[in-house]
């Protein structure tokens, strides 16, 4: 496939920012109890269905991939940025990390028990989301779960709004809009959790966590 420009721009930006990004999330992730709650739900659902591989797409430095493994889930990480993947491999030598794009995962159809996209669809321009969600649907086994976390907004009439993310151009999405696109892709919403804007110390945006099932 010809790579869309936004993927090259995102890769270059995260390659340059990989080290400070890893330091920042190393500080914030341990105290993100609400995010942890949704990761526990994903892990619990995957284990209850008998387990299987889970792709952490846009895994960054691999801290969440490692956390899912600590919850008894066979998670592996995929990221556009070779620098991020190098940091993830260094920090978590026993785990599997690969450079790749979430729009074009190198896995068989219906082979994954779960997909996690933690704050990684935010760099995908609105028109490209249906293709990304179709790929998640392709790789998930029947009954498999998808957890999507992203900066959100609460104006359902507006699908997306660009914002000044420090690393690369990003979009925040209406949770209803995203849930509708998931439904169109064949992924049914199971639960959603919205963190209040005041919980985001950086920009004051709500964070959405959407759990869906194939
Ligand atoms: C904001 S960081 C989130 C990292 C990690 N998931 C977390 O929650 O801290 C976004 C990550 O997604 C990756 N990413 C963005 N778009 C991607 C795509 N289309 N395919 C694979 N990785 C992507 C970036 O390289 C970056 O490492």
Express each pLDDT in 81-117 by its tens digit: 999 999 999 999 999 999 999 999 999 999 999 999 9
Q: Report how far residue 77's alpha carbon sits from residue 99's, in angstroms, rounded to the nearest whole number.
A: 8
Q: For atom 27 of ligand 1, which residue has the closest CA? A: 60
Distance from Cα 60 to the centre of ligand 1, integer Å: 5
pLDDT band at 30 (very low <50, low <70, confident <90, very high): very high
Q: How far is C-alpha 63 from the geometric centre of its chain's CA atoms?
A: 13
Q: For atom 13 of ligand 1, which residue has the closest CA? A: 58
What's the token pair of residue 41?
């739900």
- Indicate the pairing of strand 74-79 with strand 97-99: parallel
Whether the predicted pLDDT of 165 surpasses 80 = no
Q: Could you give the percent of the chain with pLDDT greater than 90?
A: 86
Whether the predicted pLDDT of 22 surpasses 90 = yes
Whether the predicted pLDDT of 21 surpasses 90 = yes
Distance from Cα 53 to the centre of ligand 1, integer Å: 19
* 3-state per-residue secondary structure call for the chain: CCCCHHHHHHHHHHHHHHHHHHHHHHHHHHHCHHHHHHHHHHHHHHHHCCCCEEEEECCCCCHHHHHHHHCCCEEEEEECCHHHHHHHHHHCCCCCEEECCCCCCCCCCCCEEEEEEECCHHHCCHHHHHHHHHHHHHHEEEEEEEEEEEEECCCCCCCEEEECCCCCCEEEECHHHHHHHHHHHCCEEEEEEEECHHHCCCCCCCEEEEEEEC
Whether the predicted pLDDT of 201 surpasses 80 = no
Pocket residue to mutate for ligand 1, from 10, 27, 103, most atoms within 8 A of Cβ: 10
- What range does the domain containing 20 cover? 5-102+113-126+141-157+170-213
Whether the predicted pLDDT of 191 surpasses 90 = yes
CATH of residue 199: 3.40.50.150
pLDDT at 1: 60
Residue 165, domain member (yes or no): no
- Number of domains composing the chain: 1
pLDDT at 158: 75
pLDDT in tens, 51-68: 999 999 999 999 999 999
């Amino acid at each position: 496939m010809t790579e869309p420009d936004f993927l090259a721009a995102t890769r270059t930006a995260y390659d340059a920012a990989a080290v400070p990004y890893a330091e920042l999330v190393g500080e914030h992730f341990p105290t993100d109890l609400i995010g942890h709650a949704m990761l526990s739900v994903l892990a619990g659902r995957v284990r209850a269905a008998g387990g299987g591989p889970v792709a952490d797409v846009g895994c960054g430095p691999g801290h969440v991939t490692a956390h899912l493994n600590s919850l008894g889930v066979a998670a592996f990480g995929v990221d556009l940025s070779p620098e991020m993947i190098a940091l993830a491999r260094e920090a978590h030598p026993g785990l599997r990390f690969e450079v790749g794009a979430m729009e074009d995962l190198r896995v068989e159809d219906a082979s994954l028990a779960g997909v996690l996209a933690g704050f990684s669809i935010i760099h995908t321009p609105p028109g490209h989301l249906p293709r990304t969600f179709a790929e998640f649907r392709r790789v998930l086994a029947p009954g498999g779960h998808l957890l999507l976390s992203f900066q959100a907004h609460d104006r359902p009439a507006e699908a997306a709004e660009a914002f000044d993310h420090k690393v690369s151009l990003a979009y925040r999405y209406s949770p209803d809009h995203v849930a509708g696109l998931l439904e169109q892709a064949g992924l049914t919403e199971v639960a959603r959790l919205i963190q209040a804007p005041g919980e985001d110390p950086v920009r004051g945006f709500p964070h959405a966590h959407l759990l869906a099932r194939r």
